Amino acid sequence: MIRFTPSPLIDALIDIALSEDIGCGDATADALIPIGAAATMNIVAREPLVLCGQPIVERIIARFGPRHVELKWSCDEGAPLQAGGEVAVLRGELAELLVLERTMLNFLQRLSGVATLTRRYVDEIHGTSAKLVDTRKTLPGYRALDKYATRVGGAANHRAGLDGGILIKDNHLRAAGGVHAAVSQARSDAPHSLRIEVEVETEHGFDEAVEAGADVIMLDNFTPEGVRSIAEKAPANVILEASGGIGLENIREYAEAGAQIIAVGAITHSARAVDIAAEILDD
């Protein structure tokens, strides 16, 4: 079970989503649905997917505060579903179910899409020692949720924000005066608990980063052959991360070449929302 931690930021996002959809009320339900009318709503996968978003749906119901809504999940978080697979059953006042429907589905479709794409990448490197990690290329405001979804899909989280680690990239190197100066300054000023990672674009840059004492070295836009060449000479205490130009078609090559960590921004910035539907059943 992947741990989900509610936060004021997530609650604020849920409140915004409910507010923008409901406005001053549901004009259609007010006009057509009798007060107190009860119903059963079935949530169904319309395509193969990895389910993600159960804690969010539960939080949506809690934030909205319906008088009578009962939710029963039909599968576990992270479970693979085929088209037609049942996700959940909700029972309660029909007007309230219809008000919540779109917001619940929007979160489920987005997060399940991220988890589904992530699982495809994880499956591609199964049997290797490489670990897939996400990036900060997330939907604004959704960082915590997107990173939760990648964990459900089987990936590990890279830093969640700029305060979560030291990653020295090309612009930092220019400002600091090179690899040695940047690593030395970071080692001197940064909290002792943070690893120091350096992004390099050449084998010479890798050598400099090793000499400077970097803990993690990101090989940016290296070919699998380039990663293999680096891995063959890398010190045992240096962690190798591959990033840039990595997709489903070549991620296994990078894993087999010796990359210990493989960062893929596509699992969040290019994930497609999957098709999940809500249907009112005849009681």
Show which residues are catalytic. Answer: 102, 137, 169, 199, 220
Supply the Cα-derived Rg of the chain in whole angstroms.
Answer: 23
Phi, psi of 108 (to 5 degrees): -60, -45
Q: How many CB atoms lie within 10 A of CB 94?
A: 20
Buried b (16+ CB within 10 A) or exposed e, 201-222: eeeebbebbbebbbbbbbbbeb
H helices of 141-178, where?
143-153, 170-176
| C-alpha distances out from residue 50 to 36, 85, 224, 264, Å | 35, 11, 29, 18
Beta bridge partners of 280: 41
Burial class (CB in 10 A: 0-12, 13-18, 19+), 223: middle
